[in-house]
């Protein structure tokens, strides 16, 4: 058994409001290092909330969340930003690249926030783009690229900081099936070759079937 | 903030991405600073110009002259003409101890002054040396009339600038040369270049000053005097002693001591007070308008930045998701604001300084600056500091809003 990367224990989350919404009702989950896991569930099941908590984008009300042995709880915004920056790589459905920055500048951005020197981060970003086969596209802006290329830039951006986990929110959702398959192949290869723990949120059973383990969420709890 | 070329690159990029908007926003600040600096400079220049008019004039002085009576008194009808005389000087000296200088003046208009072929229609003033304490002469050549001139009844004169230029067109020191007034020759002892626009009995530039006693004899004036200029001791307000002065003079001439028209006492203090008040008002207005315009500019910056932040919600969210701390975002927004206000404001200062310099050049005669419009170095530094502060303030509200953007919110806003 591999060492545990993610350990969730009794996670509860309620969104306050006129009608408080109890979204997560006690989630217990362990994910080992190097695993490729998919999270499935209908919309409104709480899978996005779970992803936000895993990504330290959102706080939770009850329970404990350990990421690589570190308790992630009641963090200040600054601490949360630091952990996100160092430990987590995000891949979004809509790529979320910054439109007025070139591909290489987008990939450099997390390193910029880490305080890596200018030359060093350019080097690292270029190396990452090369792995994605995008060396020639480094100086192009996102709107000059295809969806598959953009997602590969986003993957390069997620990987450039050598994160402990990759969180992918519907990574193939905005792509046509052929490109979607390519991106999945890429993610699988990264998981296999670089031993990066990967969590993919998806609707698509085809995508989920390619992962080691499927976690199904329904009404705020994990289905057994 | 970490020193990184990309930080600045990024700032510039953000502002340049929306050139028109940045320019228009910056223009508000530019105009505000320009107004403030130009008004401060212009205001002080105008003040100096106006003060030039009173140049050399004692501020606590008064001038007394005679006019027909307006009230019947001691059996005399109103409307009677009377004349000041040398005796009044003695009476004032003895009965109004608060007076410092008492200087009489006799006057004759349109007397021809001749030097060889050159003629000038001057205005002859008979004075005592004390008069210099009321209206200070600016002697370009020679000296002023002195006590020996009076005692020995010397035929000497001090000529004004225009008289000098007309009679001695070749220039040079005219002292010792003779000029003719009517049928009498006087030796020039000095040239007076003084000449504010505030004058007693005509401009000093067109005057020929000779000793009073000589004038009274040469022009058959007896002991008549045209007017008396006085200055008060320090700490005494002219207005306090005005009734006393009037009473002393009126009694000797059988005039109603309450007849303010007959014994005119013109108090320059009032005039100076008026000027001071005027300038205080103008100063207040300058600051009000200047600061107001500048504030409006800064608020404009703040507003636009607010919109920009709103527009960039997604971008800020992405940055936050991949590791930007709230502090980084805060610094970025405030830096943008400072850069925008700073660049626009500095251009405003530079433009204002240029305009003021041109005005100053326009008011320069013979290489002598007549009026200083230029603001001081420290005023400019102060304006720059004010700008930096405004930049931070303008950035605060938008930055606060940017800080509240959570990475999750940004992703939602698809």
CA distances from residue A173 to A170, A181, A206, A212, B113 in whole angstroms, order as listed: 5, 11, 12, 20, 106
Please report the ipTM that was assigned to this predicted complex. 0.86
Tell me whether B325 touches chain A (CB under 8 Å).
yes
Residues B255-273 have a mean pLDDT of 80
Q: Buried b vs exposed e over B130-166: b needs ≥16 C-beta within 10 Å? A: bbbebbbbebebbebbbeebbeeebbbbbbbbbbbeb
Residue B408 vs residues A80, B20, B310, B316, B412: alpha-carbon distances, Å: 13, 32, 15, 11, 6
Position B17 scores a pLDDT of: 79
Residues linked to residue B267 through DSSP beta bridges, in sequence order:
B62
For the whole model, what pTM was predicted?
A: 0.67
pLDDT of residue B414: 46
A110 with B327: Cβ contact below 8 A = no
pLDDT (average), residues B189-202: 70
Residue in chain B closest to A158 (alpha carbons) equals B322
Task: Name the residue ranges covered by the structural domains of chain B.
Answer: 5-54+273-412, 99-232
Q: What are B148-175's pLDDT values in tens digits?
A: 888 888 888 888 888 888 888 887 788 8
pLDDT, residue B312, reads: 84
Q: What does the H/E/C string look like for B10-40?
A: HHHHHHHHCHHHHHHHHHHHHHHHHHHHHHH
pLDDT at residue B1, rounded to an integer = 44
Q: How far apart, in whole angstroms, are the C-alpha atoms of residue B325 and residue A211?
A: 33
Q: Rounded to 5 degrees, what are φ and ψ at B209?
A: -100, 130
Q: Do the Cβ atoms of B159 and B192 come closer than 8 Å?
A: yes
Cα B384 from Cα B199, distance rounded (Å): 43
B408 contacts chain A (CB < 8 A): yes
CB contact under 8 A, A81 and B2: no
pLDDT at B320 over 70: yes
What confidence score (pLDDT) does residue B412 get? 58
Domains and CATH numbers, chain A: 4-222 (3.40.50.300)
Chain A residues whose beta carbon lies within 8 Å of the beta carbon of residue B314: 96
Asked if A96 lies within 8 A of B327 by C-beta distance, the reply is: no
Three-point CA angle A128, A134, A135, nearest 5°: 80
| Triad B199, B201, B205: Cα angle to 5° | 60
CA atoms of B287 and A3, how far apart (whole Å):
70
Q: What does the pLDDT read at residue B275?
A: 79
Position B285 pLDDT exceeds 50: yes
Q: Whole-angstrom Cα distance, residue A114 to residue A155? A: 18
Q: How much is the average pLDDT of B176-205?
A: 77
Lowest mean pLDDT among A77-86, B41-50, B300-309, B315-324: B41-50
Smallest CA–CA distance, residue B388 to chain A, in Å, is: 26
Whether B69 has a pLDDT exceeding 60, the answer reads yes
| Torsions phi, psi for B100 (to 5 deg) | -90, -70
Among B residues 8-47, those touching chain A with beta carbons less than 8 Å apart: 13, 17
Residue A220 has φ and ψ, to the nearest 5°, of: 85, 5
Give mean pLDDT in consecutive 10-residue pieces for chain A, a chain of 224 residues.
83 86 88 90 83 87 88 86 88 85 90 87 91 89 90 90 88 85 88 89 86 89 81
Under the banding of pLDDT at 50, 70 and 90, the label for residue B112 is confident
Cα–Cα nearest to B158, from B172, B171, B175: B175
- For A78, which of B17, B319, B325 is closest by C-beta distance? B325
Report the pLDDT value the prediction gives residue A157, as an integer from 0 to 100.
92
**Token pair belonging to B352:** 């204002």
């Amino acid at each position: 058994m591999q060492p545990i990367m993610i350990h969730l224990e009794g996670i509860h989350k309620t969104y306050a409001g006129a009608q408080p919404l109890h979204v997560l009702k006690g989630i217990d989950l362990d994910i080992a290092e190097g695993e490729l896991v998919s999270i499935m569930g209908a919309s409104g099941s709480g899978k996005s909330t779970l992803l936000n908590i895993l990504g330290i984008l959102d706080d939770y009300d009850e329970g404990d969340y350990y990421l690589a042995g570190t308790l992630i709880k009641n963090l200040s915004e600054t601490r949360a930003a630091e952990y996100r920056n160092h430990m987590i790589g995000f891949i979004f459905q809509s790529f979320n690249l910054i439109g007025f920055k070139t591909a290489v500048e987008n990939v450099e951005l997390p390193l910029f926030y880490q305080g890596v020197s200018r030359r060093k981060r350019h080097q690292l970003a270029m190396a990452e783009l090369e792995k994605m086969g995008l060396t020639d596209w480094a100086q192009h802006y996102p709107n000059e690229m295809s969806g598959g290329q953009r997602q590969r830039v986003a993957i390069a951006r997620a990987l450039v900081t050598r994160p402990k986990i990759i969180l992918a929110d519907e990574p193939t959702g905005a792509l046509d099936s052929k490109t979607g398959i390519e991106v999945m192949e890429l993610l699988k290869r990264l998981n296999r070759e670089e031993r990066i723990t990967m969590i993919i949120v998806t609707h698509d059973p085809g995508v989920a079937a390619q992962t080691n383990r499927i976690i199904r969420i329904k009404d705020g709890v994990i289905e057994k | 903030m970490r020193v990184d070329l990309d930080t600045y690159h990024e700032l510039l990029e953000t502002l340049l991405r929306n050139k028109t908007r940045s320019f228009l926003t910056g223009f508000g600040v530019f105009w505000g600073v320009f107004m403030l600096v130009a008004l401060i400079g212009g205001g002080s220049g105008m003040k100096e110009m106006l003060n030039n008019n009173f140049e050399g004039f004692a501020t606590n002085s008064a001038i007394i002259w005679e006019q027909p009576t307006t009230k019947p008194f001691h059996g005399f009808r109103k409307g009677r003409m009377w004349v000041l005389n040398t005796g009044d000087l003695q009476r004032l000296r003895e009965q109004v101890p608060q007076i410092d200088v008492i200087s009489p003046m006799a006057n004759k208009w349109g007397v021809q002054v001749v030097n060889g072929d050159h003629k000038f229609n001057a205005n002859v003033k008979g004075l005592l040396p004390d008069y210099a304490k009321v209206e200070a002469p600016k002697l370009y050549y020679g000296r002023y009339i002195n006590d020996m001139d009076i005692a020995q009844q010397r035929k000497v004169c001090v000529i004004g600038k225009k008289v000098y230029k007309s009679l001695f067109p070749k220039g040079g020191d005219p002292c010792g040369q003779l000029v003719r007034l009517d049928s009498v020759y006087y030796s020039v002892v000095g040239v007076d270049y003084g000449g504010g626009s505030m004058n007693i009995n005509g401009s000093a530039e067109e005057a020929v000053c000779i000793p009073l006693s000589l004038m009274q004899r040469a022009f058959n004036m007896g002991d008549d005097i045209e007017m008396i200029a006085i200055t008060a001791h320090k700490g005494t307000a002219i207005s306090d002693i005005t009734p006393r002065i009037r009473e002393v003079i009126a009694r000797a001439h059988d005039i109603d001591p309450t007849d303010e028209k007959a014994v005119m006492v013109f108090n320059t203090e009032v005039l100076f007070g008026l000027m001071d008040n005027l300038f205080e008002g103008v100063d207040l207005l300058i600051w009000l308008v200047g600061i107001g315009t500048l504030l409006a500019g800064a608020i404009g910056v703040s507003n636009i930045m607010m919109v920009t932040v709103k527009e960039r919600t997604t971008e800020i969210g992405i940055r936050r998701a991949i590791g930007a701390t709230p502090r980084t975002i805060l610094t970025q927004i405030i830096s943008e604001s400072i850069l925008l206000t700073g660049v626009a404001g500095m251009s405003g200062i530079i433009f204002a300084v240029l305009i003021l310099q041109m005005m100053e050049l326009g008011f320069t005669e013979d290489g002598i600056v007549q009026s200083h419009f230029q603001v001081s170095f420290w005023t400019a530094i102060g304006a720059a500091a004010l700008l930096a502060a405004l930049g931070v303030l303008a950035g605060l509200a938008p930055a606060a809003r940017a800080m509240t953007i959570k990475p999750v919110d940004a992703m939602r806003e698809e």
